[in-house]
Chains A and B, each alone.
Chain A
Protein backbone atom coordinates (compact mmCIF):
# COMPACT_ATOMS: atom_id res chain seq x y z
CA UNK A 1 0.00 0.00 0.00
CA UNK A 2 1.39 3.41 -0.89
CA UNK A 3 0.21 6.95 -0.29
CA UNK A 4 -0.15 7.85 -3.94
CA UNK A 5 0.16 6.37 -7.45
CA UNK A 6 3.85 5.36 -7.66
CA UNK A 7 5.84 6.58 -10.61
CA UNK A 8 7.18 3.11 -11.45
CA UNK A 9 3.69 2.28 -12.74
CA UNK A 10 4.18 4.95 -15.42
CA UNK A 11 7.40 3.22 -16.54
CA UNK A 12 5.41 0.11 -17.38
CA UNK A 13 3.60 1.98 -20.13
CA UNK A 14 6.47 2.53 -22.62
CA UNK A 15 7.63 -1.06 -22.03
CA UNK A 16 4.19 -2.41 -22.83
CA UNK A 17 3.87 -0.07 -25.84
CA UNK A 18 7.07 -1.49 -27.34
CA UNK A 19 5.79 -5.01 -26.74
CA UNK A 20 2.47 -4.02 -28.32
CA UNK A 21 4.17 -2.89 -31.51
CA UNK A 22 5.56 -6.36 -32.21
CA UNK A 23 7.27 -5.38 -35.45
CA UNK A 24 9.55 -8.42 -35.28
CA UNK A 25 6.56 -10.64 -36.10
CA UNK A 26 4.68 -8.51 -38.61
CA UNK A 27 5.49 -10.59 -41.70
CA UNK A 28 5.46 -13.98 -39.99
CA UNK A 29 2.66 -16.17 -41.32
CA UNK A 30 3.17 -19.22 -39.14
CA UNK A 31 0.17 -20.84 -37.52
CA UNK A 32 0.55 -21.94 -33.90
CA UNK A 33 -2.29 -23.90 -32.30
CA UNK A 34 -4.16 -23.11 -35.51
CA UNK A 35 -3.85 -19.36 -35.04
CA UNK A 36 -1.72 -16.85 -36.95
CA UNK A 37 1.27 -16.11 -34.74
CA UNK A 38 0.53 -12.34 -34.65
CA UNK A 39 -2.99 -12.97 -33.40
CA UNK A 40 -1.78 -15.44 -30.80
CA UNK A 41 0.83 -12.93 -29.69
CA UNK A 42 -1.75 -10.21 -29.14
CA UNK A 43 -4.11 -12.50 -27.28
CA UNK A 44 -1.15 -13.36 -25.07
CA UNK A 45 -0.44 -9.64 -24.78
CA UNK A 46 -3.93 -9.04 -23.34
CA UNK A 47 -3.26 -11.78 -20.78
CA UNK A 48 0.08 -10.16 -19.96
CA UNK A 49 -1.56 -6.75 -19.40
CA UNK A 50 -4.04 -8.38 -17.01
CA UNK A 51 -1.15 -9.99 -15.10
CA UNK A 52 0.74 -6.68 -14.96
CA UNK A 53 -2.34 -4.86 -13.65
CA UNK A 54 -2.78 -7.54 -10.97
CA UNK A 55 0.70 -6.68 -9.72
CA UNK A 56 -0.12 -2.96 -9.95
CA UNK A 57 -3.32 -3.19 -7.87
CA UNK A 58 -1.60 -5.37 -5.27
CA UNK A 59 1.66 -3.41 -4.97
CA UNK A 60 0.74 0.11 -6.03
CA UNK A 61 -2.69 0.73 -4.55
CA UNK A 62 -2.80 4.27 -3.12
CA UNK A 63 -4.10 4.19 0.43
CA UNK A 64 -5.88 7.55 0.23
CA UNK A 65 -8.46 5.75 -1.91
CA UNK A 66 -9.46 3.46 0.94
CA UNK A 67 -9.46 5.99 3.78
CA UNK A 68 -12.92 6.71 5.18
Chain B
Protein backbone atom coordinates (compact mmCIF):
# COMPACT_ATOMS: atom_id res chain seq x y z
CA UNK B 1 0.00 0.00 0.00
CA UNK B 2 2.72 2.41 1.06
CA UNK B 3 4.90 1.57 -1.89
CA UNK B 4 1.92 1.77 -4.25
CA UNK B 5 1.17 5.33 -3.14
CA UNK B 6 4.80 6.35 -3.57
CA UNK B 7 5.10 4.74 -7.02
CA UNK B 8 1.81 6.32 -8.13
CA UNK B 9 3.07 9.71 -6.96
CA UNK B 10 6.36 9.31 -8.84
CA UNK B 11 4.48 8.41 -12.02
CA UNK B 12 2.32 11.55 -11.70
CA UNK B 13 5.43 13.68 -11.17
CA UNK B 14 7.08 12.17 -14.25
CA UNK B 15 3.96 12.90 -16.28
CA UNK B 16 3.78 16.54 -15.13
CA UNK B 17 7.44 16.94 -15.98
CA UNK B 18 7.16 15.34 -19.41
CA UNK B 19 4.20 17.59 -20.26
CA UNK B 20 6.52 20.55 -19.71
CA UNK B 21 8.42 19.47 -22.79
CA UNK B 22 5.43 20.17 -25.03
CA UNK B 23 6.14 23.88 -24.87
CA UNK B 24 9.84 23.41 -25.60
CA UNK B 25 11.20 25.83 -28.18
CA UNK B 26 14.51 24.13 -28.85
CA UNK B 27 16.79 26.90 -27.69
CA UNK B 28 19.41 26.88 -24.96
CA UNK B 29 17.65 29.74 -23.17
CA UNK B 30 14.42 27.77 -23.22
CA UNK B 31 16.00 24.57 -21.89
CA UNK B 32 18.08 26.25 -19.17
CA UNK B 33 15.81 29.19 -18.24
CA UNK B 34 12.34 28.46 -19.74
CA UNK B 35 12.96 31.49 -21.99
CA UNK B 36 12.68 33.75 -18.91
CA UNK B 37 8.91 33.29 -18.81
CA UNK B 38 8.12 32.05 -15.28
CA UNK B 39 5.24 33.95 -13.62
CA UNK B 40 4.77 34.94 -9.95
CA UNK B 41 2.88 31.94 -8.59
CA UNK B 42 5.16 29.32 -10.17
CA UNK B 43 8.22 31.36 -9.15
CA UNK B 44 7.04 31.45 -5.52
CA UNK B 45 6.27 27.71 -5.47
CA UNK B 46 9.53 26.84 -7.16
CA UNK B 47 11.63 28.94 -4.79
CA UNK B 48 9.86 27.50 -1.74
CA UNK B 49 10.15 23.96 -3.07
CA UNK B 50 13.79 24.29 -4.05
CA UNK B 51 14.75 25.35 -0.54
CA UNK B 52 12.81 22.53 1.12
CA UNK B 53 15.00 19.49 1.23
CA UNK B 54 14.93 16.09 2.96
CA UNK B 55 16.04 18.09 5.96
CA UNK B 56 12.82 20.09 6.17
CA UNK B 57 10.60 17.12 6.78
CA UNK B 58 12.89 14.53 8.30
CA UNK B 59 15.81 16.46 9.70
CA UNK B 60 13.83 19.30 11.24
CA UNK B 61 11.50 16.90 13.02
CA UNK B 62 14.51 14.88 14.15
CA UNK B 63 16.18 17.98 15.58
CA UNK B 64 12.93 19.05 17.25
CA UNK B 65 12.75 15.60 18.83
CA UNK B 66 16.16 16.33 20.38
CA UNK B 67 15.95 20.07 21.09
CA UNK B 68 12.27 20.90 21.08
CA UNK B 69 10.42 23.84 19.58
CA UNK B 70 13.44 26.14 19.49
CA UNK B 71 14.27 24.46 16.15
CA UNK B 72 11.49 26.53 14.58
CA UNK B 73 13.37 29.70 15.46
CA UNK B 74 16.88 28.38 14.86
CA UNK B 75 16.20 27.04 11.40
CA UNK B 76 12.70 28.13 10.39
CA UNK B 77 12.05 31.75 11.21
CA UNK B 78 15.74 32.61 10.72
CA UNK B 79 15.33 31.65 7.06
CA UNK B 80 11.94 33.36 6.89
CA UNK B 81 13.69 36.58 7.92
CA UNK B 82 16.83 36.42 5.78
CA UNK B 83 15.57 34.96 2.52
CA UNK B 84 12.98 37.59 1.48
CA UNK B 85 15.67 40.26 1.82
CA UNK B 86 17.99 38.16 -0.33
CA UNK B 87 15.28 37.92 -3.01
CA UNK B 88 14.67 41.66 -2.81
CA UNK B 89 18.29 42.81 -2.96
CA UNK B 90 20.02 40.02 -4.85
CA UNK B 91 17.37 38.05 -6.74
CA UNK B 92 15.80 41.00 -8.52
CA UNK B 93 19.15 42.58 -9.38
CA UNK B 94 20.49 39.29 -10.77
CA UNK B 95 17.31 38.95 -12.85
CA UNK B 96 17.80 42.47 -14.23
CA UNK B 97 21.44 41.84 -15.15
CA UNK B 98 20.61 38.45 -16.63
CA UNK B 99 17.96 40.02 -18.82
CA UNK B 100 20.20 42.93 -19.88
CA UNK B 101 23.35 40.96 -20.56
CA UNK B 102 21.99 37.52 -21.44
CA UNK B 103 23.58 35.65 -18.56
CA UNK B 104 22.60 32.10 -17.73
CA UNK B 105 25.00 31.42 -14.85
CA UNK B 106 26.68 33.20 -11.92
CA UNK B 107 30.11 32.46 -13.37
CA UNK B 108 29.24 34.22 -16.62
CA UNK B 109 28.26 37.28 -14.61
CA UNK B 110 31.37 37.22 -12.41
CA UNK B 111 33.70 36.68 -15.39
CA UNK B 112 32.14 39.66 -17.14
CA UNK B 113 31.89 41.92 -14.12
CA UNK B 114 35.49 41.41 -13.06
CA UNK B 115 36.81 40.81 -16.58
CA UNK B 116 38.58 37.65 -15.46
CA UNK B 117 38.17 34.18 -16.92
CA UNK B 118 40.39 32.52 -14.27
CA UNK B 119 38.39 34.04 -11.38
CA UNK B 120 35.28 32.56 -12.95
CA UNK B 121 36.92 29.17 -13.21
CA UNK B 122 38.05 29.29 -9.58
CA UNK B 123 34.53 30.16 -8.49
CA UNK B 124 33.13 27.47 -10.76
CA UNK B 125 35.24 24.76 -9.08
CA UNK B 126 34.28 25.90 -5.58
CA UNK B 127 30.57 26.07 -6.46
CA UNK B 128 30.58 22.58 -7.97
CA UNK B 129 32.44 21.13 -4.97
CA UNK B 130 29.91 22.67 -2.58
CA UNK B 131 26.93 21.54 -4.66
CA UNK B 132 27.80 17.86 -4.71
CA UNK B 133 27.39 17.18 -0.96
CA UNK B 134 24.22 19.25 -1.04
CA UNK B 135 22.85 17.01 -3.80
CA UNK B 136 23.82 13.93 -1.82
CA UNK B 137 21.45 15.00 0.96
CA UNK B 138 18.57 14.53 -1.42
CA UNK B 139 19.73 11.26 -2.93
CA UNK B 140 20.56 9.65 0.42
CA UNK B 141 17.48 11.20 2.05
CA UNK B 142 15.24 9.57 -0.55
CA UNK B 143 16.83 6.23 0.14
CA UNK B 144 16.58 6.50 3.92
CA UNK B 145 13.01 7.75 3.79
CA UNK B 146 11.80 4.88 1.64
CA UNK B 147 13.63 2.35 3.84
CA UNK B 148 12.04 3.80 6.99
CA UNK B 149 8.56 3.96 5.51
CA UNK B 150 8.63 0.39 4.21
CA UNK B 151 9.69 -1.12 7.51
CA UNK B 152 13.06 0.14 8.57
CA UNK B 153 16.26 -1.86 8.82
CA UNK B 154 14.38 -5.06 9.66
CA UNK B 155 12.10 -5.32 6.67
CA UNK B 156 12.23 -2.21 4.58
CA UNK B 157 13.60 -1.80 1.12
CA UNK B 158 17.35 -1.22 0.94
CA UNK B 159 18.21 2.47 0.73
CA UNK B 160 19.65 2.31 -2.77
CA UNK B 161 16.13 1.65 -4.08
CA UNK B 162 14.80 4.99 -2.88
CA UNK B 163 17.95 6.75 -4.07
CA UNK B 164 17.64 5.15 -7.49
CA UNK B 165 13.94 6.02 -7.80
CA UNK B 166 14.61 9.66 -6.98
CA UNK B 167 17.49 9.91 -9.48
CA UNK B 168 15.59 8.06 -12.20
CA UNK B 169 12.46 10.23 -12.04
CA UNK B 170 14.48 13.43 -12.06
CA UNK B 171 16.64 12.09 -14.88
CA UNK B 172 13.52 11.68 -17.04
CA UNK B 173 11.87 15.03 -16.60
CA UNK B 174 14.93 17.26 -16.23
CA UNK B 175 16.82 15.90 -19.23
CA UNK B 176 13.62 15.96 -21.26
CA UNK B 177 12.03 19.25 -20.27
CA UNK B 178 14.73 21.36 -18.58
CA UNK B 179 13.75 24.42 -16.56
CA UNK B 180 10.13 24.48 -17.70
CA UNK B 181 9.49 20.93 -16.45
CA UNK B 182 11.45 21.66 -13.28
CA UNK B 183 9.32 24.73 -12.50
CA UNK B 184 6.00 22.98 -13.13
CA UNK B 185 6.97 19.87 -11.17
CA UNK B 186 8.26 22.02 -8.29
CA UNK B 187 4.95 23.87 -8.13
CA UNK B 188 3.08 20.56 -7.94
CA UNK B 189 5.52 19.10 -5.40
CA UNK B 190 5.47 22.16 -3.13
CA UNK B 191 1.68 21.96 -2.96
CA UNK B 192 1.93 18.21 -2.21
CA UNK B 193 4.29 18.51 0.72
CA UNK B 194 2.42 21.49 2.16
CA UNK B 195 -0.80 19.50 2.11
CA UNK B 196 0.80 16.28 3.37
CA UNK B 197 2.48 18.15 6.23
CA UNK B 198 -0.80 19.75 7.26
CA UNK B 199 -2.76 16.48 7.08
CA UNK B 200 -0.11 14.54 9.01
CA UNK B 201 -0.09 17.28 11.62
CA UNK B 202 -3.84 17.26 12.23
CA UNK B 203 -4.12 13.47 12.25
CA UNK B 204 -1.24 12.88 14.67
CA UNK B 205 -1.92 15.86 16.93
CA UNK B 206 -5.49 14.59 17.16
CA UNK B 207 -4.21 11.31 18.60
CA UNK B 208 -2.58 13.23 21.46
CA UNK B 209 -5.68 15.23 22.33
CA UNK B 210 -5.16 18.04 19.89
CA UNK B 211 -2.21 20.41 19.73
CA UNK B 212 -3.03 21.94 23.12
CA UNK B 213 -3.32 18.56 24.80
CA UNK B 214 -0.09 17.37 23.23
CA UNK B 215 1.80 20.46 24.37
CA UNK B 216 0.46 20.15 27.92
CA UNK B 217 1.66 16.56 28.04
CA UNK B 218 5.02 17.56 26.64
CA UNK B 219 5.39 20.39 29.12
CA UNK B 220 4.80 17.98 32.00
CA UNK B 221 7.15 15.28 30.80
CA UNK B 222 9.82 17.17 28.86
CA UNK B 223 9.79 20.77 30.01
CA UNK B 224 13.00 21.74 28.21
CA UNK B 225 11.42 21.03 24.82
CA UNK B 226 8.75 23.74 25.15
CA UNK B 227 11.09 26.57 26.09
CA UNK B 228 14.17 27.99 24.40
CA UNK B 229 16.12 28.00 27.65
CA UNK B 230 19.57 29.33 28.27
CA UNK B 231 21.17 25.95 28.94
CA UNK B 232 21.84 24.53 25.51
CA UNK B 233 20.77 27.63 23.66
CA UNK B 234 23.23 30.43 23.30
CA UNK B 235 23.18 33.80 21.60
CA UNK B 236 26.10 32.82 19.38
CA UNK B 237 24.20 29.78 18.15
CA UNK B 238 21.26 31.98 17.26
CA UNK B 239 23.53 34.38 15.38
CA UNK B 240 25.09 31.50 13.48
CA UNK B 241 21.61 30.40 12.46
CA UNK B 242 20.98 33.78 10.90
CA UNK B 243 24.14 33.45 8.82
CA UNK B 244 23.47 30.00 7.35
CA UNK B 245 20.43 31.11 5.27
CA UNK B 246 22.70 33.65 3.57
CA UNK B 247 23.92 30.66 1.57
CA UNK B 248 20.76 30.93 -0.53
CA UNK B 249 22.12 34.11 -2.06
CA UNK B 250 24.96 32.12 -3.59
CA UNK B 251 23.12 28.96 -4.69
CA UNK B 252 23.62 28.33 -8.42
CA UNK B 253 20.22 26.66 -8.70
CA UNK B 254 18.43 29.61 -7.09
CA UNK B 255 20.28 31.93 -9.47
CA UNK B 256 18.84 29.94 -12.39
CA UNK B 257 15.32 30.23 -10.99
CA UNK B 258 15.71 33.98 -10.50
CA UNK B 259 16.83 34.40 -14.09
CA UNK B 260 13.88 32.37 -15.36
CA UNK B 261 11.36 34.95 -14.07
CA UNK B 262 9.08 36.64 -16.61
CA UNK B 263 9.68 40.08 -15.13
CA UNK B 264 10.86 41.68 -11.90
CA UNK B 265 7.31 41.99 -10.58
CA UNK B 266 7.11 38.20 -10.54
CA UNK B 267 9.40 38.40 -7.50
CA UNK B 268 6.86 40.31 -5.40
CA UNK B 269 4.80 37.27 -4.47
CA UNK B 270 7.94 35.36 -3.48
CA UNK B 271 9.30 38.23 -1.39
CA UNK B 272 6.07 38.71 0.56
CA UNK B 273 4.70 35.18 0.82
CA UNK B 274 7.90 33.20 1.32
CA UNK B 275 7.93 33.67 5.13
CA UNK B 276 4.34 32.40 5.35
CA UNK B 277 4.97 29.39 3.10
CA UNK B 278 8.07 28.59 5.10
CA UNK B 279 6.16 28.67 8.37
CA UNK B 280 3.42 26.44 6.92
CA UNK B 281 5.99 23.77 6.07
CA UNK B 282 8.20 24.01 9.18
CA UNK B 283 5.50 24.26 11.82
CA UNK B 284 4.09 20.73 11.43
CA UNK B 285 7.55 19.23 11.10
CA UNK B 286 8.88 20.86 14.29
CA UNK B 287 5.75 20.34 16.39
CA UNK B 288 5.41 16.67 15.41
CA UNK B 289 9.08 16.09 16.10
CA UNK B 290 8.73 17.51 19.60
CA UNK B 291 5.48 15.62 20.27
CA UNK B 292 7.24 12.43 19.20
CA UNK B 293 9.30 12.62 22.39
CA UNK B 294 6.20 11.67 24.40
CA UNK B 295 6.14 8.10 23.11
CA UNK B 296 9.54 7.67 21.49
CA UNK B 297 12.54 8.46 23.67
CA UNK B 298 15.98 8.86 22.14
CA UNK B 299 17.96 7.32 20.64
CA UNK B 300 15.83 6.78 17.56
CA UNK B 301 16.46 4.09 14.99
CA UNK B 302 14.68 5.94 12.19
CA UNK B 303 13.09 9.29 11.38
CA UNK B 304 10.62 10.35 14.11
CA UNK B 305 8.03 11.55 11.60
CA UNK B 306 7.88 8.09 10.03
CA UNK B 307 7.57 6.43 13.45
CA UNK B 308 4.70 8.72 14.41
CA UNK B 309 2.81 8.10 11.21
CA UNK B 310 3.28 4.34 11.25
CA UNK B 311 2.09 4.22 14.88
CA UNK B 312 -0.81 6.62 14.74
CA UNK B 313 -2.02 6.61 11.17
CA UNK B 314 -2.53 4.02 8.48
CA UNK B 315 -0.59 2.85 5.48
CA UNK B 316 -2.26 5.41 3.21
CA UNK B 317 -0.96 8.37 5.22
CA UNK B 318 2.45 6.72 5.49
CA UNK B 319 2.48 6.41 1.70
CA UNK B 320 1.46 10.05 1.42
CA UNK B 321 4.26 11.01 3.80
CA UNK B 322 6.66 9.09 1.58
CA UNK B 323 5.32 11.06 -1.36
CA UNK B 324 5.69 14.30 0.61
CA UNK B 325 9.30 13.57 1.52
CA UNK B 326 10.10 12.64 -2.06
CA UNK B 327 8.40 15.87 -3.16
CA UNK B 328 10.61 17.91 -0.85
CA UNK B 329 13.73 16.07 -2.00
CA UNK B 330 13.05 16.14 -5.73
CA UNK B 331 12.02 19.78 -5.80
CA UNK B 332 15.59 20.61 -4.73
CA UNK B 333 17.47 17.89 -6.57
CA UNK B 334 15.95 18.69 -9.96
CA UNK B 335 16.99 22.34 -9.72
CA UNK B 336 20.46 21.39 -8.53
CA UNK B 337 21.12 18.90 -11.33
CA UNK B 338 19.79 21.30 -13.96
CA UNK B 339 21.97 24.10 -12.57
CA UNK B 340 25.05 21.89 -12.73
CA UNK B 341 24.19 20.92 -16.31
CA UNK B 342 23.79 24.60 -17.17
CA UNK B 343 27.09 25.53 -15.52
CA UNK B 344 29.13 22.87 -17.28
CA UNK B 345 27.62 23.70 -20.66
CA UNK B 346 27.96 27.48 -20.37
CA UNK B 347 30.97 28.00 -18.12
CA UNK B 348 33.24 25.23 -19.39
CA UNK B 349 32.21 23.88 -22.79
CA UNK B 350 30.99 27.14 -24.27
CA UNK B 351 33.64 29.28 -22.58
CA UNK B 352 36.70 27.18 -23.38
CA UNK B 353 35.89 25.29 -26.53
CA UNK B 354 33.36 26.85 -28.80
CA UNK B 355 33.22 30.52 -27.73
CA UNK B 356 29.65 31.38 -28.66
CA UNK B 357 29.80 29.16 -31.72
CA UNK B 358 27.94 26.38 -29.91
CA UNK B 359 24.56 26.01 -31.65
CA UNK B 360 21.35 26.06 -29.62
CA UNK B 361 20.77 22.37 -30.27
CA UNK B 362 24.30 21.49 -29.18
CA UNK B 363 23.88 23.53 -25.98
CA UNK B 364 20.73 21.66 -25.09
CA UNK B 365 22.38 18.32 -25.85
CA UNK B 366 25.40 19.12 -23.67
CA UNK B 367 23.06 20.33 -20.92
CA UNK B 368 21.13 17.08 -21.00
CA UNK B 369 24.26 14.93 -20.98
CA UNK B 370 25.72 16.77 -17.98
CA UNK B 371 22.46 16.56 -16.01
CA UNK B 372 22.44 12.81 -16.60
CA UNK B 373 26.12 12.45 -15.63
CA UNK B 374 25.63 14.36 -12.38
CA UNK B 375 22.66 12.29 -11.36
CA UNK B 376 24.61 9.09 -11.98
CA UNK B 377 27.56 10.48 -10.02
CA UNK B 378 25.31 11.52 -7.13
CA UNK B 379 23.69 8.08 -7.05
CA UNK B 380 27.05 6.30 -7.03
CA UNK B 381 28.39 8.58 -4.29
CA UNK B 382 25.28 7.91 -2.20
CA UNK B 383 26.16 4.22 -2.18
CA UNK B 384 29.56 4.82 -0.65
CA UNK B 385 29.25 7.86 1.64
CA UNK B 386 28.51 7.20 5.27
CA UNK B 387 28.55 10.68 6.78
CA UNK B 388 25.29 11.94 8.21
CA UNK B 389 23.39 13.66 5.46
CA UNK B 390 22.51 16.59 7.59
CA UNK B 391 26.06 17.22 8.73
CA UNK B 392 26.94 17.40 5.03
CA UNK B 393 24.20 19.96 4.52
CA UNK B 394 25.45 22.36 7.17
CA UNK B 395 28.99 22.29 5.73
CA UNK B 396 27.68 22.91 2.25
CA UNK B 397 25.57 25.86 3.42
CA UNK B 398 28.56 27.24 5.32
CA UNK B 399 30.64 27.36 2.15
CA UNK B 400 27.92 29.03 0.10
CA UNK B 401 27.26 31.60 2.83
CA UNK B 402 30.96 32.48 2.73
CA UNK B 403 30.73 33.21 -0.99
CA UNK B 404 27.81 35.62 -0.60
CA UNK B 405 29.94 38.75 0.04
CA UNK B 406 31.49 38.24 -3.41
CA UNK B 407 28.11 38.35 -5.13
CA UNK B 408 26.86 41.25 -3.05
CA UNK B 409 30.00 43.24 -3.87
CA UNK B 410 29.72 42.39 -7.57
CA UNK B 411 26.16 43.74 -7.56
CA UNK B 412 26.48 46.75 -5.27
CA UNK B 413 30.11 47.80 -4.67
CA UNK B 414 31.81 49.41 -7.63
CA UNK B 415 35.16 49.49 -5.92
CA UNK B 416 35.40 45.69 -5.61
CA UNK B 417 38.13 44.15 -7.75
CA UNK B 418 38.87 40.72 -9.14
CA UNK B 419 41.75 40.33 -6.72
CA UNK B 420 39.39 41.08 -3.82
CA UNK B 421 36.93 38.52 -5.10
CA UNK B 422 39.70 35.94 -5.51
CA UNK B 423 41.01 36.64 -2.01
CA UNK B 424 37.54 36.17 -0.55
CA UNK B 425 37.10 32.87 -2.41
CA UNK B 426 40.45 31.58 -1.17
CA UNK B 427 39.67 32.70 2.39
CA UNK B 428 36.45 30.70 2.27
CA UNK B 429 38.20 27.62 0.88
CA UNK B 430 41.06 27.79 3.41
CA UNK B 431 38.95 28.37 6.50
CA UNK B 432 36.37 25.82 5.42
CA UNK B 433 39.06 23.15 5.04
CA UNK B 434 40.57 24.09 8.41
CA UNK B 435 37.31 23.98 10.35
CA UNK B 436 36.20 20.81 8.60
CA UNK B 437 39.41 19.02 9.58
CA UNK B 438 38.98 20.26 13.18
CA UNK B 439 35.41 18.98 13.26
CA UNK B 440 36.48 15.44 12.44
CA UNK B 441 37.97 15.16 15.95
CA UNK B 442 34.74 16.24 17.64
CA UNK B 443 31.55 14.31 18.37
CA UNK B 444 28.29 16.03 17.58
CA UNK B 445 27.91 19.60 16.36
CA UNK B 446 31.20 21.38 15.90
CA UNK B 447 31.46 24.98 17.09
CA UNK B 448 34.52 27.20 17.03
CA UNK B 449 36.51 26.54 20.22
CA UNK B 450 33.31 25.15 21.74
CA UNK B 451 31.88 28.68 21.97
CA UNK B 452 28.53 27.97 20.34
CA UNK B 453 29.52 29.96 17.25
CA UNK B 454 29.41 27.78 14.16
CA UNK B 455 32.21 28.06 11.56
CA UNK B 456 29.91 30.11 9.34
CA UNK B 457 30.21 32.88 11.95
CA UNK B 458 33.93 33.15 11.19
CA UNK B 459 33.95 32.34 7.47
CA UNK B 460 31.44 34.98 6.38
CA UNK B 461 33.17 37.90 8.14
CA UNK B 462 36.58 36.63 6.99
CA UNK B 463 35.40 36.50 3.38
CA UNK B 464 34.02 40.04 3.66
CA UNK B 465 37.20 41.40 5.25
CA UNK B 466 39.45 39.74 2.64
CA UNK B 467 37.27 41.12 -0.14
CA UNK B 468 37.30 44.67 1.21
CA UNK B 469 40.99 44.89 2.14
CA UNK B 470 42.32 43.35 -1.08
CA UNK B 471 39.91 45.36 -3.26
CA UNK B 472 41.03 48.62 -1.65
CA UNK B 473 44.67 47.58 -2.04
CA UNK B 474 44.33 46.91 -5.78
CA UNK B 475 43.54 49.16 -8.74
CA UNK B 476 39.86 50.07 -9.17
CA UNK B 477 38.09 48.52 -12.17
CA UNK B 478 36.88 50.60 -15.10
CA UNK B 479 34.06 50.38 -17.57
CA UNK B 480 31.60 48.81 -15.16
CA UNK B 481 28.78 51.32 -15.54
CA UNK B 482 26.55 48.88 -17.34
CA UNK B 483 26.27 46.68 -14.20
CA UNK B 484 24.81 49.47 -12.08
CA UNK B 485 21.38 50.82 -12.94
CA UNK B 486 21.88 54.06 -10.97
CA UNK B 487 24.49 55.22 -13.46
CA UNK B 488 22.25 54.98 -16.52
CA UNK B 489 21.61 58.42 -18.10
CA UNK B 490 17.96 57.61 -18.87
CA UNK B 491 17.19 58.21 -15.17
Residue positions of A touching B, CB distance < 8 A? 3-5, 9, 13, 16-17, 20-23, 25-29, 31, 33-36, 38-39, 42-43, 45-47, 49-50, 53-54, 56-57, 61-62, 64-67
Contacts and interface: CB of A to CB of B under 8 A. Distances in A.
Interface string B216-248: 100100010011111001010010001000000
Contact of A42 (B73, B242, B276): B73
B96 interface: yes
Residue in B88, B92, B228, B488 with the greatest tally of chain A CB atoms within 10 Å: B228
B215 interface: yes
Residue in B96, B279, B283 with the greatest tally of chain A CB atoms within 10 Å: B279
B76 interface: yes
Given A36-B69, A43-B279, 20 more contacts: A3-B486, A29-B219, A33-B212, A38-B70, A39-B72, A42-B76, A42-B77, A43-B77, A45-B81, A46-B275, A47-B276, A49-B81, A50-B84, A50-B272, A50-B273, A50-B276, A53-B271, A53-B272, A57-B88, A64-B485
B406 to A, nearest CB: 19
Interface in B263-289: 263-265, 268, 271-276, 278-279, 283, 286-287
A57 B279 contact: no
Interface string B163-196: 0000000000000000000000000000000000
A45 B272 contact: no
Contacts of A50: 84, 272-276
Given A26-B233, A38-B69, A38-B227, A64 B488 contact: yes
Contacts of A66: 263-265
A38 B101 CA distance: 46
A33 B215 CA distance: 10
B85 interface: yes
Residue in A16, A21, A39, A56 with the greatest tally of chain B CB atoms within 10 Å: A39
Contacts of B89: 5
Contact of B219 (A4, A31, A49, A57): A31
Contacts of B286: 39
B275 A36 contact: no
Chain B interface residue bracket vs A: 35 or more
A37 to B, nearest CB: 9
Nearest to A65: B264
B215 A35 contact: yes
A49 to B, nearest CB: 4
Contacts of B308: none
A21 B19 CA distance: 46
Contact of A34 (B84, B211, B229): B211
Interface string B70-82: 1011001110110
B235 A49 contact: no
Given A34-B212, A36-B69, A66-B263, A54 B85 contact: no
Nearest to B80: A46
Interface in B18-50: none
B227 A26 contact: yes
A8 to B, nearest CB: 13
Contacts of B274: 50
Contacts of A23: 235
